[in-house]
């Protein structure tokens, strides 16, 4: 059986992924020219590399069309229900670190915790004639954090596909759920992270789509072991 | 996949609905999604079938009947009281069970006699089950948010805390966390010194001006979201809430109340004993509760089949009083769920306050129960 590893096709995360695999003794080489979207692992037959965008990797893992993927934990957890039953997070790779957080305008002096936000959300409709609006691209993570974990049911998600941090100042939403690595973008937009507002501490991971045929497969075991040894 | 079609007892139910003096209504299968998401929250989004119209309006397949029936009532500007009945298909994404199934139910709008309307809803629900599943025994569980609200008010907590607890009613984990927090006051720190000083001085006008100036400076509109005076008002309230706590006696009383779970035959006595032992002034709530128990008896419901569980509630802001569920005795599947939703009609846009109570029957589960008999 051919094992497919999906890795990011461009940018810093592509280089970092290649470096980890190299340290693991699994050197990735492109097939054809440097810009090719197919590759292989030097000296390891039966394994191919697919260069995809980070969000596509999460999708391909969900559908099981690739065996392994290197991508952000946030994208994987956002991309599918029952995530831990469907994929295995084999190794945390030590790069691409970023937190998915709940952030509110700094000037909301009275809001420091999710409990505060619960109070605000509950009376929002009576005061403003609409529910509290959250701009995010993380629908699933937001729902889990608000509804299941903190018992906040009454809010609306406004889909935001870019520049989410600008939504509150622009009046498109009241607060945001977004990814942040240094916090500087949030700060520049006068937003603050709630004390218990870290939904996920994400980083790049080696993720395996759980498939029965992986059981006893030498290459699968070897890839996991080698990458774990390199991080 | 099982074949899904109108349950064979549908006609029996419809004829019973007529005997119960209800008006049968139908609503389009394709509904605007907005009111459902607005009422039930984002959690519903995963569980409904959503699509978008050509013009960008969110539409969904009818996930339930209560909201469309209420909206239809508001739009048609019909007077109250009014009793509606429905029977039709609803569509939900479910892990277990089919995605399309039948529901039937009654919505009773505008009856100002709360106790008797509550009792009639439960009695009608039982009558429906007895018609479809004759000679079976059922168990009704009821909860009452109004009594919980009265207990919380009687504990003497600030209104902000009362609202928090009421909001968590029915969510055991959230409520337990709040009760644990109430054991001791909380420190409130982290405010800028300037704000702290203005708060200390009680200078609201200066605080509002400060917040307003900060919003201007940082490029936030003061009218798009929370306004400066709203932030200041809650900042002051939060101080009060942070300082609030309950002594051990009152905490124990609250916990004890939430653990009450008794047959309705004994519930009035148990509730009265609780109020007396905890020394809480609950007269008005007890009078309302007792009136409903009396109304149940008048409506011919067997009190022995009804259990009152004090902690039973639903965490949505339109539920106000009675909630109930009916199962087969000893069974787990909820065959009928219902309750009072006095706040829904105005939330949906009705100009006047319209009290409302109703129930919904899970016809697929009832069909399953019926087959189990054969």
Residues A111 and A63 in one domain: no
State whether B43 and A157 contact (CB < 8 Å).
no
Residue B234 in contact with partner chain A when CB distance is under 8 A: yes
Residue B226 in contact with partner chain A when CB distance is under 8 A: yes
Q: Which residue has the higher pLDDT, A32 or B57?
A: B57
pLDDT higher than 70, residue A130: yes
Residues A73 and A85 in one domain: yes
Q: Tell me how far apart the alpha carbons of residues B111 and B331 are, in angstroms, rounded to a whole number.
A: 32
pLDDT for the residue numbered B1: 41
pLDDT for the residue numbered B373: 65
Q: Tell me how far apart the alpha carbons of residues B321 and B142 are, in angstroms, rounded to a whole number.
A: 10
pLDDT for the residue numbered B2: 47
Residue of A nearest to B159 (CA): A119
Domain residues for A78?
A: 3-96+203-230
Residues A215 and A186 in one domain: no
What's the whole-number mean pLDDT along residues B94-122? 93
pLDDT for the residue numbered B63: 96
Its ipTM equals 0.86
- Cβ proximity of A7 and A17 under 8 Å: yes
Distance (Å) from the C-alpha of residue A26 to the closest C-alpha of chain B?
A: 40
* Cis ω for the linkage preceding B81 (within 30 of 0): yes
State whether A150 and B46 contact (CB < 8 Å).
no
Residues A198 and A107 in one domain: yes
- Cβ proximity of B234 and B158 under 8 Å: no
Average pLDDT, rounded, for chain A? 93
- Cβ proximity of B343 and B110 under 8 Å: no
Read off the CATH number of the domain in which A39 is found. 3.40.190.10
pLDDT for the residue numbered B374: 53
Number of domains within chain A: 2
Q: Collect all residues with Cβ–Cβ distance below 8 Å to B168 and sequence separation of at least 6.
A: A151, B174, B175, B178, B315
pLDDT for the residue numbered B78: 83
The residue among B61, B3, B75, B74 whose CA lies nearest residue B32 is B61
- Residue in A112, A131, A174 nearest the CB of B38: A131
Distance (Å) from the C-alpha of residue B218 to the closest C-alpha of chain A?
A: 7
Residues A26 and A118 in one domain: no
pLDDT higher than 70, residue B3: no
Residue A174 in contact with partner chain B when CB distance is under 8 A: yes
Q: Tell me how far apart the alpha carbons of residues A146 and A102 are, in angstroms, rounded to a whole number.
A: 10
Lowest mean pLDDT among A27-41, A110-124, B191-205, B239-253: A27-41
Phi-psi region of A64 (alpha: psi -120 to 50; beta: other; left: phi over 0): left
pLDDT tens for A200-214 read 999 999 999 999 999
Residue A157 in contact with partner chain B when CB distance is under 8 A: yes
> Which residues in chain B are contacts of A157 at CB distance < 8 A?
42, 45
What part of B 301-320 touches A (C-beta under 8 Å)? Answer: 315-317
Residues A85 and A122 in one domain: no
Residue indicated by tokens 């965008």: A53
State whether B191 and A109 contact (CB < 8 Å).
yes
pLDDT higher than 90, residue B334: yes
pLDDT for the residue numbered A175: 97
pLDDT higher than 60, residue B120: yes
Residues A74 and A121 in one domain: no
Lowest mean pLDDT among A25-39, B169-183, B216-230, B281-295: A25-39
What pTM does this model have? 0.87
Residues A20 and A80 in one domain: yes
Q: Tell me how far apart the alpha carbons of residues B296 and A104 are, in angstroms, rounded to a whole number.
A: 49
pLDDT > 90 in chain B, percent? 79
pLDDT higher than 80, residue B96: no
pLDDT tens for A55-88 read 899 999 999 999 999 999 999 999 998 899 999 9
pLDDT tens for A32-56 read 776 678 899 998 999 999 999 988 9
State whether B41 and A118 contact (CB < 8 Å).
no
Residue indicated by tokens 């097939």: A31
The number of beta carbons lying within 10 Å of the beta carbon of residue B206 is 14
What part of A 40-99 touches B (C-beta under 8 Å)? Answer: none
Average pLDDT, rounded, for chain B? 92
Residue of B nearest to A125 (CA): B347
pLDDT tens for A167-202 read 999 889 999 999 999 999 999 999 999 999 999 999
> Which residues in chain B are contacts of A106 at CB distance < 8 A?
218
Distance (Å) from the C-alpha of residue B348 to the closest C-alpha of chain A?
A: 11
Residue A118 in contact with partner chain B when CB distance is under 8 A: yes
Residues A103 and A198 in one domain: yes
Residues A113 and A31 in one domain: no
Q: Say what angle helices B248-259 and B172-181 make with each other, to 10 degrees.
A: 170
> Which residues in chain B are contacts of A145 at CB distance < 8 A?
none
Q: Which domains does chain B have, with CATH numbers?
A: 10-137+355-373 (3.30.930.10), 142-184+248-328 (no CATH), 193-243 (no CATH)
- Cβ proximity of B311 and B143 under 8 Å: yes
Q: Tell me how far apart the alpha carbons of residues B39 and B364 are, in angstroms, rounded to a whole number.
A: 25
- Cβ proximity of B110 and B354 under 8 Å: yes
Q: Collect all residues with Cβ–Cβ distance below 8 Å to B56 and sequence separation of at least 6.
A: none
pLDDT higher than 60, residue B106: yes
């Amino acid at each position: 059986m051919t094992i497919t590893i999906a890795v990011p096709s461009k940018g810093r995360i592509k280089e970092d992924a290649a470096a980890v695999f190299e340290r693991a003794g699994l050197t990735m080489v492109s097939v054809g020219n440097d810009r090719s979207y197919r590759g292989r692992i030097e000296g390891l037959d039966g394994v191919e590399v697919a260069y995809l965008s980070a969000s596509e990797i999460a999708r391909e893992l969900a559908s099981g069309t690739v065996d392994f993927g290197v991508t952000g934990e946030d994208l994987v957890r956002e991309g599918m229900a029952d995530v831990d039953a469907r994929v295995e997070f084999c190794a945390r790779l030590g790069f691409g670190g970023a937190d998915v957080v709940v952030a509110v305008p700094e000037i909301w002096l009275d809001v420091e915790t999710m409990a505060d936000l619960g109070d605000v959300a509950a009376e929002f409709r009576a005061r403003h004639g609409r529910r509290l609006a959250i701009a995010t691209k993380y629908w699933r993570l937001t729902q889990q954090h608000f509804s299941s974990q903190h018992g906040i049911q009454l809010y609306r998600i406004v889909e935001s596909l870019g520049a989410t941090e600008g939504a509150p100042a622009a009046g498109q939403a009241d607060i945001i759920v977004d990814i942040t690595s240094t916090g500087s973008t949030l700060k520049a937009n006068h937003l603050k992270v709630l004390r218990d507002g870290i939904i996920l501490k994400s980083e790049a991971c080696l993720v395996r789509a759980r498939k029965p045929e992986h059981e006893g497969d030498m290459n699968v075991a070897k890839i996991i072991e080698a990458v774990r040894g390199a991080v | 996949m099982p074949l899904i079609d109108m349950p064979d007892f549908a006609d029996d139910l419809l004829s019973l609905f007529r005997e119960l003096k209800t008006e049968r209504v139908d609503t389009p299968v394709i509904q605007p999604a907005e009111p459902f998401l607005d009422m039930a929250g984002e959690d519903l989004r995963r569980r409904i079938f959503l699509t978008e119209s050509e013009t960008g309006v969110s539409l969904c397949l009818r996930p339930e009947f209560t909201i469309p029936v209420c909206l239809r009532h508001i739009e048609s500007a019909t007077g109250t009281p009014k009793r509606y009945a429905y029977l039709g298909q609803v569509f939900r994404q479910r892990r277990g069970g089919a995605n399309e199934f039948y529901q039937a139910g009654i919505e009773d709008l505008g009856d100002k006699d709360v106790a008797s309307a509550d009792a009639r809803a439960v009695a009608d629900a039982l009558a429906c089950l007895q018609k479809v599943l004759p000679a079976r025994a059922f168990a009704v569980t009821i909860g009452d948010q109004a009594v919980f609200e009265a207990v919380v008010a009687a504990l003497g907590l600030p209104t902000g805390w009362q609202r928090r607890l009421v909001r968590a009613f029915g969510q055991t984990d959230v409520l337990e966390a709040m009760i644990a927090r109430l054991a001791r006051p909380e420190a409130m720190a982290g405010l800028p010194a300037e704000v702290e000083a203005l708060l200390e001085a009680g200078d609201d006008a200066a605080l509002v001006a400060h917040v307003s100036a900060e919003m201007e400076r940082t490029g936030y509109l003061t009218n798009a979201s929370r306004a400066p005076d709203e932030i200041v008002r809650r900042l002051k309230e939060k101080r009060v809430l942070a300082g609030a706590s309950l002594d051990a006696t009152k905490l124990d009383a609250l916990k004890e109340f939430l653990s009450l779970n008794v047959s309705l035959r004994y519930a009035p006595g148990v509730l009265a004993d609780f109020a007396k032992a905890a020394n809480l002034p609950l007269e008005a709530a007890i009078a309302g509760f007792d009136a409903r128990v009396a109304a149940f008896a008048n409506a011919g419901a067997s009190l022995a089949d009804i259990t009152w569980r004090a902690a039973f509630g639903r965490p949505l802001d339109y539920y106000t009083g009675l909630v109930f569920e009916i199962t087969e005795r000893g069974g787990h599947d909820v065959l009928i769920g219902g309750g009072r939703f006095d706040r829904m009609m105005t939330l949906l846009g009705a100009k006047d306050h319209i009290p409302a109570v109703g129930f919904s029957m899970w016809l697929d589960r009832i069909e399953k129960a019926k087959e189990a008999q054969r």
